[in-house]
Amino acid sequence: MKTISMKKNLLKSMMAMLLTLSLTLIGCSAIAPGGGSKSDYPKKPVAYIVPFAAGGGVDLVARAVAEYAGKEWGQPVNVVNKTGGGGTIAAEYALKQANKDGYTILGDNVSTTSMLVSGMSNPPVKLEDRIFTSRVALDPIAFVVKSDAPWNTLQEFAQWVKQNPAQLTWTSVGPAGTSAFAMADLLTAIGADYSKTRMVVTTGAADSIPKVAGGHAVMASHTVAEVYPMVAAGKVKVLGVAAAKRSQYLPDVPTLEEQGIRGVTVKWWTGVSLPAGAPDQAVKNWESLLAKMTKDPVFLEKMKNLHIEVSYLNSTEFTKFVQDETKTYTQLATERKMRK
> What digits encode the pLDDT tens for the residues 66-81?
999 999 999 999 999 9
pLDDT at 11: 45
Percentage above 90 pLDDT, the chain:
69
Distance of alpha carbon 294 from alpha carbon 273, whole angstroms: 16
Indicate whether 2 pLDDT > 50.
no
Q: DSSP letter string over 84-115?
A: -GGGHHHHHIIIIIS-SSSSEEEEEEGGGTHH
Query: Which pLDDT band holds residue 252 (cuts at 50, 70, 90)?
Result: very high
Task: Give the pTM.
Answer: 0.77
Q: What is the crossing angle of helices 178-190 and 315-335, to 10°?
A: 50
Query: Which pLDDT band holds residue 10 (cuts at 50, 70, 90)?
Result: very low
Indicate whether 21 pLDDT > 80.
no
Indicate whether 25 pLDDT > 50.
no
Instruction: For domain 141-259, give the CATH number.
Output: 3.40.190.10
Query: Which pLDDT band holds residue 286 (cuts at 50, 70, 90)?
Result: very high
Radius of gyration of the chain (CA): 25
What are the tens digits of pLDDT across the range 126-140? Answer: 999 999 999 999 999
Query: Which pLDDT band holds residue 273 (cuts at 50, 70, 90)?
Result: very high
Indicate whether 124 pLDDT > 60.
yes
pLDDT at 217: 97
Distance of alpha carbon 285 from alpha carbon 133, whole angstroms: 10
Bond before 42 cis per omega within 30 degrees: yes
Same fold, 46-139+268-335 and 141-259: yes
Question: Where do the structural domains in the chain lie, given as residue ranges?
Answer: 46-139+268-335, 141-259
Query: Which pLDDT band holds residue 285 (cuts at 50, 70, 90)?
Result: very high
pLDDT at 316: 97
Distance of alpha carbon 143 from alpha carbon 154, whole angstroms: 9
Q: Are 41 and 32 in contact (CB under 8 A)?
A: no
Mean pLDDT of the chain: 88
pLDDT at 26: 39
Nearest Cα neighbor of 169 from 185, 178, 180 is: 180
Query: Which pLDDT band holds residue 39 (cuts at 50, 70, 90)?
Result: low
pLDDT at 97: 97
Indicate whether 82 pLDDT > 60.
yes
pLDDT at 284: 97
Q: Are 328 and 322 in contact (CB under 8 A)?
A: no
Topology (CATH) of 46-139+268-335: D-Maltodextrin-Binding Protein; domain 2 (3.40.190)
SS3 content of the chain, % helix, strand, coil (to 5): 50, 20, 30
Regarding predicted confidence, which is higher, 101 or 6? 101
What is the DSSP-derived secondary structure letter of residue 63? H
The CA-to-CA distance between both ends of the chain, in Å, stands at 90
